[in-house]
Amino acid sequence: MRQFYLFLIGIIFSAATWAQGTGSIVGVLSDKEVNNEPLPFATVQIKNTSKGTTTDFDGLYEISNVEAGTYTLVFSFVGYETVEVPNVVVEADKVTTINAGLGATAAALDEVVITTTVSRESEVALLLEQKKAVSIQQSIGADELARKGVSDAAAAIAKISGVSKQSGGAGNVYVRGLGDRYLNTTYNGLTLPSNDIEKKNMDLDLFPSDIIQNVAVSKAYSTKFYGDFAASNIDVISKDYKGKFFLDIQLGSSINTRAIGQDFTRSEGTGYFGFYNRYDNNPFAVILSHPVDPVDGGTPINVNGSISGGKSFEMGEGGRLSLFATASFANDYEYRRGSAADFTTVEKQVYDDVEEFEYSTTTTAMLNAIYSLNSGHKITFNSLFLNSSSDEVGNFGIDGNGRNRDAILNTDSGFFTKNIQFNQDMIFVNQLSGLHTFDEEFELTWGVGYNKVFSNQPDRKRFALENYNLALDNDPSTNPSFYNNTNFDNQRYFQNIEDEELNSRLNLEYTVSDNFKLNFGYNGRTKERFFKNIRYGYDLIAPNTPVEDINNLDSIFNVPNLGTVYDTFVFRAIAPELGIDNRNYPGLDENRYTGNLDIHAGYINAEITTGNWLFVPGFRVESFNQSITYDVINLPPDASGYAESYENFYLPSLNVRYALNDDSNLRFSFAKTVSFPEFKEVAPFVYEDVTKRVGGNPDLLNDPSFSDVYNIDLKYEWFFGKSELLSIAGFAKEIRNPVNLVIANDATGTRRYFRTGEKANVYGVELEVRKNLVTDADENAVVSAGINGTYMHTQQDLRSSNGLFSSTLDRDDELQGASPFLINADINYSPTSFENYKPVANLIYSYFADRIDALGSGQLGNIVEKGYGTLDFVWRNEFGDNWEINASAKNLLDPDIEYVREGTSFGDYTTSIYRRGINVGLNVKYKF
């Protein structure tokens, strides 16, 4: 194919040059770092002449009007080795074709600052970018993602030092021990919405690597980031494509060792592709029309597939339109068997034997269109759609030995809970951005993004039974019965969240001189959230209504039985004065809230180079306005239903780089930033889970309504060889008036958010090494290894607070989510001795030490997530130009995932333990 193209180009160029009486040189330059993809914007020079050019998007170049003769051609590209091709003969009226491949070297970096067009999929290029960067950041590109068998963005950033990801459903990402609320996620530099009420950041699991060009984790602040920054800004850069037409299709399948062979069930009414089509209906109509029992969930074999394609078109004079589109679907069956307990100082609810079936899907589609007017102007449109769903059926107490201390018939055994829930998150992101350069002095970049999120939990069903042990005996005359202490012990629940956000960025870079550059910028975002939920309780009319078959609850909760066997209850009746009360009628929403966030910020920073020093002082002014309007059940009647805060933040920062020599830098960074509350932390709505209750606290918007954060980083980095690195970093942070989730003083033990004390401190060191252990003749790595580790000390003072809600705390403790010790390591084997076969094998290990999952208050100890290590093996095989067959085995150690309540009078009490199983999969990819 490539040869054909060149031939064609050759003819065109030949036609163009015939008239001249001179000859020309054409060719294609390929990037050895990126599978020999075309290398754009490289310089091609005829040695000792002024003739030269740069390669275009497709790596193609042409030097025309060359006098006949013999020349030496010089190919160079920043950060790459310079290649000289001697004895190039140019004849009159002929076209000489010279193709070359450039590879990276970590030396030779005396060129200008790396421009944005560097291929940021390549590890080497990213390392170079890191070396050149004006602030402390780390990136992981598509190449490394693929090599390490990383399938999504969350797993991607978890390979970066100081970063750790929680396994399983929660999936929280921690950067230097600071969790979700201290991170920001952006997509092409514009804010990315969260898909989950419980989170501020998008679940990066949802980003398949097909979409990602690279993920940059900035652990030091820079003025262009929003001021709400404490641990890091994670920027996901979407893939674009500038070369010739391509199309590839990938299909794969995997199995999980624990899921295979299980009889999966999932909610009735949800689809294989993770969609649900009853949102239009009143929930009461849904519960009357649709059964409660789960349905067959299919055979637990995971499948995934994706299709990607791209093409560039020339458009008029110097213009070019580049399109890239990708769509993918993946599903996953997970089976978890273990135990779960709610233990405070006593066993409140204990299930020794729990099984959970989870069927999840991710569907993505992305379109990226770039229109370049010429080398100085570029407009990009990006549209992203994500749908993620999780269909979970949990059976708690299947051994008949579940215990609930508030059970009525038997507190010592037989308690059973069945939870059937489906979550669907749909995210739409549309972005338009541009880059314009004027006179080489000014560069204007801008972007506008519109985000929309629908995060729904439709028709969650929960049932509680007593004497479940009677379902396990062989006596059909004895049966379990419903636990019916309140009207809502058996219930169906509906929750809808809708987020809408408009945000923008604008930056003008003014290059005053080689040593002095100024940036002026603006960021703005306006976000609104609508939240509502409603719940219907099933109140069984006869005491201890028996359950003959747990798998056939439809025989009880059907329409003919309404009002005779059971009543439905709702919290807010439509019109009790007209007799339309809360029994057996539809109701009004149980809880609603609306959150609004408006941020406008302006900033300025300078990049000043003197000798080996680079100084980047910056200053940002940000205005912040957040408000929440709520109408939720069971609050004091005089609660205002409204909270608002308006603040202006003045945020200075300084980044300094000192180049010790060509290969090593010393960096320092200081910044003042802030942290402000999220909607879910402020809205006093209480979410009731099987074993816990979590609610917000509007007091967080009272004085002080935010936390001041002070950040200091110091880093030494040494790029000692091609794709080799050693770095050591130290960091310190202080967070004033931090917010924590703790158990409130209330009669039901609800967890709420409080400003828990004066300050929290984080100190730590990070060490990272990447080294080639065996190289081939061309200095390509055959065996390479990388390891990074983080050691942290965290401390915060925890004090009681009083307000709308109150909490009892009086101690110093570690930060929630902070593992004192993290490690990520990998070893890579990629022999280069085969002609048409390129195998790459990787073994990847991660470990974190015990960390606090939830702070205890009063007499209660912390809930701690026990540390564990994971090991993945990934084996990629490229056959020729078209085929790729990849095998993987993930979670090889299959560790216990365990949570304990610490400091009980019996020592540590395990509140949850399970294993996720080993995933073994095979993928086939064909490139057309």
Of 562, 520, 512, 517, residue with least CA distance to 537? 562
How far is C-alpha 486 from the chain's CA centre? 39
Minimum distance of other proteins from residue 573's CB (angstroms): 6
The residue type at 894: D
Q: Is 86 in the site for other proteins (CB under 8 A)?
A: no
Residues numbered 510-539 forming contacts with other proteins, rule: CB under 8 A: 535, 537
Q: Is 859 in the site for other proteins (CB under 8 A)?
A: yes
> Cα–Cα distance between 403 and 152 in angstroms, integer?
39
288 contributes a contact to other proteins by CB under 8 A: yes
Nearest CB to other proteins, comparing residues 20 and 859: 859
> Could you give the 3-state DSSP secondary structure of residue 735?
strand
CB of 509 to other proteins, least distance (A): 29
Map the footprint of other proteins across residues 655-714, applying CB under 8 A: 686, 688, 693
| 3-state SS, residue 875 | strand
Say whether residue 365 binds other proteins (CB under 8 A): yes
CA 417 to each of CA 86, 288, 348: distance values in angstroms, whole numbers, following the listed order:
78, 22, 14
Going by C-alpha positions, the residue among 134, 217, 229 that lies closest to residue 622 is 229
Quote the strand ranges of 280-401, DSSP E: 295-296, 302-315, 319-343, 347-374, 377-396
637 contacts other proteins (rule: CB under 8 A): yes
Taking CB under 8 A as the rule, does residue 543 contact other proteins? yes
Q: Is the separation of the CB atoms in 805 and 699 below 8 Å?
A: yes
- Which of 22, 419, 596, 808 binds other proteins (CB under 8 A)? It is 808
Closest CA to 354 of 907, 899, 908: 899
799 near other proteins, judged by CB under 8 A: no
Contact between 670 and 711 under an 8 Å Cβ cutoff? The reply is: yes
Q: How far apart are CA 275 and CA 289, in angstroms?
A: 18
Which member of 14, 43, 167, 344 binds other proteins (CB under 8 A)? Answer: 344
Q: Would you call 873 helix, strand, or coil by DSSP?
A: strand
Can residue 262 be called a binding residue for other proteins (CB under 8 A)? no
CB of 546 to other proteins, least distance (A): 14
Judging by beta carbons within 10 Å of its beta carbon (0-12, 13-18, 19+), is residue 692 exposed, middle or buried?
middle
Least distance from other proteins to the Cβ atom of residue 598, Å: 20
Closer CB to other proteins, residue 157 or residue 809? 809
Total binding residues for other proteins by CB under 8 A? 99
Nearer to other proteins, 413 or 623 (CB): 413
Beta-carbon contacts of 915 under 8 Å, excluding residues fewer than 6 positions away, are 258, 336, 337, 338, 894, 895, 896, 897
Cβ distance to other proteins smaller for residue 286 or 825? 286
121 or 342, CB closer to other proteins?
342
Contact range with other proteins by CB under 8 A, out of 305-313, 705-713, 771-779, 805-813: 805-813
Q: How far is the CB of 700 from other proteins (least distance, A)?
A: 16
Distance of CA 651 to the CA centre of its chain: 27
- Determine, following the binding rule CB under 8 A, whether residue 810 of this chain makes contact with other proteins: yes
Distance CA 458, CA 271 (A): 13
Of the pair 341, 840, the CB lying nearest other proteins is at: 341
Among 411, 437, 511, 691, binds other proteins (CB under 8 A): 411
Near other proteins by CB under 8 A, which window of 136-144, 246-254, 310-318, 406-414? 406-414
Least Å from the CB of residue 704 to other proteins = 22
For the record, the structure tokens of 373 come out as 């007017």
Q: Which of 20, 115, 117, 282 binds other proteins (CB under 8 A)?
A: 282
Residue 688 to residue 750: CA distance in whole angstroms: 9
Sign of the four-CA dihedral 895, 901, 906, 907: positive
Could you tell me the two tokens for 797?
Answer: 């003072």
Report if residue 594 touches other proteins, rule: CB under 8 A.
no
Least distance from other proteins to the Cβ atom of residue 270, Å = 7
Binding mask 900-919 for other proteins (x = CB under 8 A): ----xxx-------------
* Cβ count within 10 A of residue 911: 21
Per CB under 8 A, the list member of 648, 802, 832, 882 interacting with other proteins is: 802
Nearer to other proteins by Cβ, of 9 and 682: the residue is 682
CB atoms within 10 A of CB 231: 30
Q: Coil, strand or helix: which one is 754?
A: strand
The least CB distance from residue 478 to other proteins, in Å, is 11
The residue range among 20-28, 189-197, 351-359, 481-489 that interacts with other proteins, by the rule CB under 8 A, is 481-489
Minimum CB separation of residue 154 from other proteins in Å reads: 22
Binding flag, residue 280, other proteins (CB under 8 A): yes
Which residues in 719-778 contact other proteins (CB under 8 A)? 743-749
Site string (95-134) toward other proteins, x via CB under 8 A: ----------------------------------------
Binding to other proteins, residues 483-502 (CB under 8 A): 484-488, 491, 498
Residue 444, token pair as written in the block: 């204007």
Question: Which residues between 376 and 405 bind other proteins (CB under 8 A)?
Answer: 383-385, 387, 405
Segment interacting with other proteins (CB under 8 A) among 229-237, 274-282, 503-511, 658-666 = 274-282
Which positions from 299 through 338 interact with other proteins, judged by CB under 8 A? 327
Q: How far apart are CA 826 and CA 149, in angstroms?
A: 11
Structure tokens belonging to residue 879: 């056959």
- Residue among 476 and 579 whose Cβ is closer to other proteins: 579
With beta carbons less than 8 A apart as the criterion, state whether 913 and 866 touch: no
Among 130-138, 205-213, 435-443, 855-863, the segment contacting other proteins (CB under 8 A): 855-863
Please identify, among the stretches 157-165, 437-445, 515-523, 564-572, the one whose residues bind other proteins according to the rule CB under 8 A: 564-572
Please, what is the minimum distance in Å from the beta carbon of residue 199 to other proteins?
21
Nearer to other proteins, 17 or 349 (CB): 349
Instruction: Identify which of residues 462 and 733 has a Cβ nearer to other proteins in the complex.
Output: 462
Q: Looking at the DSSP assignment, which residues form a beta bridge with residue 495? A: 457, 533
Binding segment for other proteins (CB under 8 A), chosen from 102-110, 200-208, 569-577, 846-854, is 569-577
Please give the Cα distance from 417 to 480 (Å, whole number): 12
Residue placing its CB nearer to other proteins in the complex, 410 or 594: 410
DSSP H/E element including 43: strand 43-46
Residue 280 in tokens: 């239009």
Determine contact, residues 242/302, Cβ cutoff 8 Å: no
Query: Both tokens of residue 286?
Result: 């849904």
Residue selected from 136, 175, 470, 573 as contacting other proteins according to rule CB under 8 A: 573
Residue 750 DSSP label = -
Among the listed residues 345, 596, 627, 772, the single contact to other proteins using CB under 8 A: 345
Selected range binding other proteins among 257-265, 310-318, 340-348, 920-928, rule: CB under 8 A: 340-348
CA distance 587 to 608: 64
- Collapse the DSSP code of 440 into the 3-class scheme (helix H, G, I; strand E, B; otherwise coil) and give the result: coil
Indicate the residue among 482 and 706 with the shorter CB distance to other proteins: 482
> Measured in Å, how far apart are the chain's first and last C-alpha atoms?
10
- CA 375, distance to chain mean position in Å, is 33
User: Measured from the CB atom, is 775 or 904 closer to other proteins?
Assistant: 904
Residue 656's region, left for phi above 0, alpha for psi from -120 to 50, else beta, is beta
**CA 913 – CA 907 distance, rounded (Å):** 16
Report the residue from 89, 107, 633, 773 that binds other proteins according to the rule CB under 8 A.
633
